[in-house]
Each structure stands twice: as C-alpha cells, then as structure tokens.
A = this chain, B = another copy of it.
Amino acid sequence: MAVCALCAPSAQDILWQDDFCRVVLLNDADYPAYCRVELLAHIKEMTDLPPQDRARTMKVVFAVEAAMREVIQPDKINLASLGNKTPHMHWHILPRFESDRHFPNSHWGEAVRDSGAQPLNTEVRERLQKVVIERVECALKN
C-alpha cells in the first residue's frame, strides 16, 4: 500500500503549524504565494471531522487568505479542497492575478498565457510568514 504523500511529506516550506494542521508555502513556479493548509491527521472529508474541527480548519484557511490579501494584494482568492489524488484533507489557498497563467480559468484548467511569475523574494516571503502567523494565532483565539 502506498504511503500517503501528506502523512509522510518530503521537505516542506512550513509557514506555521500546530498539533492540528500546518500552513505550507508550495513555492509553485506559476503561483509563488500558493499555500496549502494540511491537516496532520489522515482525514478524507470535512464532514469526517466534528463541527468544531471543521471550524478550526476554516479559521486557519481564512487567516491565510487574509494574510495573502494584506501582503500581496491579489485580484482574487481561490479556495479549494479536492483530494481526488491525495484523500488527506488539505485546502488550496491560491492568490490569483488577472495577468497569471490561467486567469480567469481555474489553475487546473487551460493556460491562456505564459507565466510571468517570479519567485517570492526573501523580504516578501518573510513578511508573508509573519502575517500568516499573526493572523492564524489571532483567529484561533476567537
């Protein structure tokens, strides 16, 4: 039986984590600020979680969204939990720009232009991490 890629992840750029979930910067070539919120436990669907853990998950997702909006001002945020290939609960938090490779399509859909994306520079990455930490920790207190 194959080991789940999110139960045994390879090296990750983790922006924040606790004993429930982690916020990972994917360092995607087309979408440099693309993050995932990954639960530590191997849970398949949101409704496999008790309601308070669903709420906890979404507080983290929305805190990451808020941090992205503050730091990189995208034109739109895309949120998704699919898991067809890796049925271990994770949320995609993807900042979109009208100039990005697939806009206005889904980034899983047809590309409509070359990507002009550049990796996040160190200063922006550090700022994103700082704001993610602040926003997540504040959200989890409320």
Contact = CB atoms under 8 A, between A and B. Distances in A.
A47 B66 contact: yes
Interface residues on chain A, size class: 20 to 34
Q: How many copies of the chain does the oligomer comprise?
A: 2
Interface in A103-127: 103-106, 108-109
A62 B77 contact: no
Is the contact region of chain A dominated by helix, strand, or loop, or is it mixed? Answer: mixed
Interface string A32-61: 000000000000111100010011001100
A46 B96 CA distance: 15
Interface in A54-85: 54-55, 58-59, 62, 65-66, 69, 76-85
Nearest to A45: B77
